[in-house]
Amino acid sequence: MTTIAVIGLGNMGGPMAQNLVKAGHAVTGFDLSPAAIEEARAGGVAIARSVAEAVKGAEAIVTMLPAGKHVRAVWAEIVGIAGKGTLLIDSSTIDVESARAVHAQAEAAGLVPVDAPVSGGVGGAKAATLTFMCGGADAAFNRAKPLLEAMGRKIVHCGGAGAGQAAKICNNMILGISMIAVGEAFVLAEKLGLSHQALFDVASTSSGQCWSLTTYCPVPGPVPTSPANNGYKPGFATALMLKDLKLSQDAAAAAGATTPMGALATQLYGLHAAWGEGGADFSGIIELIRGKSD
């Protein structure tokens, strides 16, 4: 059993903390949201009144926070409290620069950092089937892996500090672009009189097949579990896709990489969010492609 603090008990962090409890660990959490606190408490997570109270005496600390500025602020507080050798895992999706900065800060304080953003959405967090993309030293990764295995199915060591964040934003750039392509194909099929099912049956077994089509099909029917069958209620919201695409473009600019499709996808998801669809699933981008704004 490991004593673990989880900072950030929202849609992702809450279920992750509960899965650590199910795996037999002693978990204390903290969040600013009363609703998130109560849900985590119901799942067996002990609740602290502050970050400081949550992390005091913890052998490992997991953060799941909205953005790089939040991770920087919380880790700055943690490094002054946590004992030397404490494992720090950040599963937020943030910019690579911030990830590298907090790694350096943690290591200077004698702590053991890992960046470990996730893929799999809320469903994966609840089912403990997340994919973790990890950055950090070999020894740090090896310490983190057993804890991550309690929350996920696939744990990948991508390289040094920030490599997990780099892998995450590259993956989600692919996802955002591919969903637009699948949406365009279905809209074209509609105009040509081809049924959704016919296109799915062909493309899902041909060279056009991809995750956006076979698992998350943006039209109702072919994949019953996709958000399209539930009014685009989010598994992964448009606002979160837009956040990740913006991170990809910031990284591309900093690295001198050319990503024209990523840039266009960022613009389209920005427009979709501006239409008031930021809280809807990102696969609802097909409605933008159709020209619907209501």
pLDDT in tens, 176-188: 999 999 999 999 9
pLDDT of 226-281, one tens digit each? 999 999 999 889 999 999 999 999 999 999 999 999 999 999 999 999 999 999 99
Rg value, the chain, Cα: 20
Question: Is there a catalytic annotation at residue 168?
Answer: yes
A 10 A CB-CB count for 205 gives: 10
Tokens of 245: 């695409």
Q: Rounded to an integer, what distance in angstroms lies between the CA atom of residue 131 and that of residue 124?
A: 8
Supply the pLDDT for residue 235.
85
Tokens of 218: 């943006």
CA separation (Å) from 257 to 159, 170, 243, 278, 280?
Answer: 20, 12, 19, 27, 30
In sequence order, what are the residues at sequence separation of 6 or more whose Cβ sits closer than 8 angstroms to the Cβ of residue 70? 92
Give one word for 122, left, alpha or beta, with left for phi > 0 and alpha for psi -120 to 50: alpha
Supply the pLDDT for residue 85.
97
Supply the pLDDT for residue 79.
95
Supply the pLDDT for residue 180.
98
Residue 133 three-state SS: strand
pTM of the model: 0.90
Supply the pLDDT for residue 167.
97
Among the options 22, 145, 154, 168, which is catalytic? 168
Supply the pLDDT for residue 54.
97
**Which backbone phi and psi does 45 adopt, to 5 degrees?**
-85, 130
Mean pLDDT taken over the chain = 96
Supply the pLDDT for residue 121.
84
Residue 31 CA, chain-centre distance (Å), reads: 18
- Residue 53's pLDDT band, with cuts at 50, 70 and 90, is very high
Supply the pLDDT for residue 123.
86
Q: Rounded to an integer, what distance in angstroms lies between the CA atom of residue 282 and that of residue 246?
A: 14
